[in-house]
Structure 1
Amino acid sequence: MRWIKKTYEEYGPLSFLQQENVEEIATVRLKDPIKVYLRGEGWKDTNLAFWNGEYFINVVNRFAVSVGRRITLKNPRVNAVLPDGSRIHAVVPPLSSGHALTIRRFTVRRFTPWDLIENGTATLAQLAEIWYAVDEEMNIVIAGNTGSGKTTTLNALLSFVPLEERIVLVEETPEIEVPHSHSVRLVPSDEISMQELVYDTLRMRPDRVVVGEVRRPEEVRALFDTMLAGQGKGSYATMHGRTAEEALRRIKSMGIPDEDLAALDLLVVQRRRGAGRTEERKIVSINWRERPENLEEEISWRIEVLKNIREKDIKKYCEAVGRWVASRPPSRTSS
């Protein structure tokens, strides 16, 4: 009876795929095994499948109805963010060759910089360098390939922003969670674009502006306009790009001239390599527009601090950073 209830009253075969280590769920056609991406193991076939197109659409619509979307004959696709933050994309013939579905699961726990060190994403020296850039109110972009963990890293790096500061988040898919009480999130809709919301931040007196991911020329233009406006204490964003050179070429191809590129102080590149148990997500380069003269001294002090902050709760990590900064001798305060 439990199997019947799950199959017909909940989300069909997808109801059996809610384990914590399932990061992504995908189907490509009817009768083929549903695939799951398991954390640390990669893609795996399950013994579950959709056998009927009408039933596939019904299950997809059970997810999508919660956000006011649905697949119909006139609209054979749906792309939405579910209430728990997970992303769903589904498409059916004639728009595709098969009944395809992708669900990218929302991760509840937010990583701290210590988590990035433990899982090998970043070194102490790399985090010390980026922390300095955050303290010095610099504009930062994290580039990387798909699934490299760009947003997860950006979320962790916001632990270096003092808790009393005001953060304005602009995300198409709400993923970033900060413990700062004076933060506000803007989410684009069919009527209001991400570009418009990024420009809206200019009138919201933010200390920091965070743009989840920029993909389109108008979004990149809006991001650089906020950087050039010099508002607040820095703007941050993620984008696709496997290398620093590739990311910069992509920015230029979207209409950003060389003179405006000077607004970007730091470009961090993170890569996903390997597959399954050999897969790794790592920061592979940190690229300064102009490397600070006192950077080595700053890195040394911050490395020692980072060794001592091992909190896995993001708010407690922020609080610990604040205590260390407050206790730093005045003679060693950054310039």
Structure 2
Amino acid sequence: MTALTDTALTTGLKALLETTSTVTVRPRYEGSNICTWIGFKHVNYMVEEAVLDHFRTAGLPARGLYEEFGLGLDIVDLDTRILHAFHMDDTAQAEVVPHTKEDDRVIGFRVTVTVERDGEPVKAVTSKVKVSLRPDGYLQSADEPPALLSRFVVPRLGAHLEAAEAPSVAVTPADNTSLAQGRGTTASDDPVLAQLTQGENAFGWKWRIPYPYCHFTERLQMSGYLRQMEEVVDLFLADRGISIKTLLDDRRWIPVVPHSRVQILDEALMEEDLYTVYTVEEVFKDFTYTSRMDCYVVRDGRLVQTETGRITHGYAVIENRKDWSLVNFDERVVNAFKGGPAQS
């Protein structure tokens, strides 16, 4: 790998902030869980790969930024709309357009993913992405970041946000996420989750952050939060009596996601306990429902919010191995979303 000289940095930063790039992307096999359709998490993975390729094309690859300057490339905001479903083995074109204003402290992009349907290209995904550069905090590198990049360097993830500091909430955590606990614990068994979900139409889940969800040796990365969002939805639906398999077996219904957003507010570290609260916000005309996901850790006896995000769901009925169509919610499903009994 070629060293990033001052000249290369100047040229690369100009390309990064001013030049559009295009790359061919393909969904991963792992993301095809129901028939051959691809879930929202893996659609977001394609967006992430397009952004990483844009950095490579500009001559500022994530590996080079880290090995040369000790800067970790972190996606800190990912807002994605899915307009057409992806299938296994689809090949798509992702266009990455720089979108960074002069006073922005993050590197911004607009990503459009196009796929062929019936011989014609269709816009399948649009996404807004923001990136921060975070100095390595584990190896304690003494190197100063290059001046050209310093505008986008943050001491911790979320530091670019100028929102008012949230009130500090004192909590007393319980030691209930040992390895024997498996997938962790829920609000009914945890005092912090019980406090976070009290009076809300919400589901709480706590578990230990595993290393495969992290990067740069210590911190939870964007793809880890996407996995967290997918997992908490699965647990929420099971808790409300309408698990994924239950509705698949009863009526061949599957959840579909037209919109998701994840925004990192602070850092969550490997093997910390992550408190995830999934709150139903609105059921819209019995056709879609929106929920918010908020994640916290406890440090020095106080809650620190590390993430907030939103996801919109609908349901589709499987018609055959290739086709599905959207359906309206019935009373059983609406009751479950609103916190009432899930009637059979």
* TM-score, length basis structure 2: 0.26
More helix by share: 1
Higher relative contact order (CA 8 A, sep 6+): 1
* TM-score, length basis structure 1: 0.27
